[in-house]
Amino acid sequence: MSDGNCQSDDISSLCVKKFKKCDQNENGVKESQLQLKDFVPSKILNNNTNRKIVCALGNFRDKSGEALVILEKNAFKEEELNEKGYFSEDSELRTFFQNDIYGNYVCFPNSSINGVKTTIIYPATDKHIAKYSQQESHIIQETPQLYEKFTSTHIEKEQFNLQWVYNILEGKSEQDRVVYDNKCEKEGFVLLPDLKWDGLTKETLYLLAIVRQRGIKSLRDLDGSHLLLLKRVRDEGKKAILDKYNVAGSQLRIYLHYQPSFYHLHVHFTYLKHEAPGIYAEKSHLLDTVIDNIEMMSNYYQKATLPFTIREMDTLFNVYETNGYIKRIKQNVELIDK
């Protein structure tokens, strides 16, 4: 599903492919004929102001076909933080303001440490362009009525293929990756590393618990009858991660996505300090809060209005658009109050 980080994810996965190829062909590569001064941008497809990555679509003068230029500011390297780097005579400091012990400035360092990571894809296909395009996202406040009328119908109609999930649960695939397995059909679950995680680096720890019980599509279906299951996932999941990875339960972010990326109940476990994709308030629901809500009100998730974000490329967007709950204004969409 969509979130603010998808572009970086895409760029990274693309980079992996490229780097691998590069290892093989490095010596045969010729110098670039492409020059940034010849690039004429036509549209900014994506500007991640947090990670400082921008993607521009355009073309190169006197060349046919479209091109993508992706720029990313580099992270600071420790070896630049010395008298030859940022703290050298070349670093010009312009004062923005200064007050008491605090000062805000702009520093213009030596250009040698000012490189910007640049990726050029040329010629770029429509698929590349779609991949790097940030789509307008909007929040939908899904009432129980809207869920029944549109979301639920959409889920049934799409009949998402869950065979890969059943293969894991039935021991037919990924068995070597399983970290913990509770085989109880009603309250058991399988815990395994998420595919985004290398399985080693504590800083980016990311595991997924997939429940054995079938037919629980999402948060929306949860009620008092699932409390034991949810507590097992929380408590046994925490313990398994402490045993295997030595990360305390209080250092874990344990949560469900709404909407989820597949409609078979699963719970995410990430390291609290890790800014994993999709951990935002409009998408993630902490398991402890879910349990607390159900304990206070057994049918909380059947009564609550649940927000979710949606992009134009999501098929669910079309459902809400066709039914008049979202309208496009210029290149934007806007929710209509009904």
- Which residues are marked as active site? 266
Rule CB under 8 A: say whether 309 interacts with its own copies: yes
Could you give the 3-state DSSP secondary structure of residue 225?
Answer: helix
Q: Report the distance separating Cα 286 and Cα 317, nearest Å.
A: 25
Dihedral class, residue 299 (left if φ above 0, else alpha if ψ from -120 to 50, else beta) = alpha
Using CB under 8 A as the binding rule, the residues of this chain from 182 to 201 that contact its own copies are 201
CB closer to its own copies, 145 vs 185? 145
Using CB under 8 A as the binding rule, the residues of this chain from 254 to 293 that contact its own copies are 255, 272-276, 279-286, 288-289, 292-293
Contact pick of 12, 225, 305, 323 for its own copies (by CB under 8 A): 305
Rule CB under 8 A: say whether 149 interacts with its own copies: no
- The number of angstroms, rounded, from the C-alpha of 223 to the middle of its chain's C-alpha atoms is 27
Contact pick of 9, 12, 123, 313 for its own copies (by CB under 8 A): 123
Using CB under 8 A as the binding rule, the residues of this chain from 314 to 333 that contact its own copies are 326, 329, 332-333
CB closer to its own copies, 91 vs 213? 91
Rule CB under 8 A: say whether 108 interacts with its own copies: yes
- The number of angstroms, rounded, from the C-alpha of 256 to the middle of its chain's C-alpha atoms is 13
Contact pick of 9, 12, 13, 116 for its own copies (by CB under 8 A): 116
CB closer to its own copies, 169 vs 276? 276
User: Looking at residue 197, what DSSP letter applies?
Assistant: S
Residues in a beta bridge with 255: 268, 286
**Burial (0-12, 13-18, 19+ Cβ within 10 Å), 231:** middle
> Is 8 marked within a binding site?
no
Using CB under 8 A as the binding rule, the residues of this chain from 13 to 42 that contact its own copies are 14-15, 17-19, 21-22, 25-26, 29-32, 34-37, 39-41
Least Å distance between CB 66 and its own copies?
Answer: 11
Q: CB neighbours of 212 closer than 8 A, spacing ≥ 6?
A: 169, 182, 183, 184, 185, 186, 187, 188, 189, 190
Using CB under 8 A as the binding rule, the residues of this chain from 58 to 77 that contact its own copies are 69, 71, 73-76
Judge whether 144 and 300 are in contact, CB under 8 Å.
no
Least Å distance between CB 300 and its own copies?
Answer: 8
User: Looking at residue 172, what DSSP letter applies?
Assistant: S
**Burial (0-12, 13-18, 19+ Cβ within 10 Å), 65:** exposed
Query: What does the block give as tokens for 157?
Result: 């109609």
Q: Report the distance separating Cα 214 and Cα 154, nearest Å.
A: 19
Contact pick of 12, 114, 167, 315 for its own copies (by CB under 8 A): 114
x/- letters, 156..175, toward its own copies (CB under 8 A): --------------------
Contact pick of 152, 251, 298, 302 for its own copies (by CB under 8 A): 251
From the annotation, which residues make up the binding site? 164, 174, 194, 196, 257-268
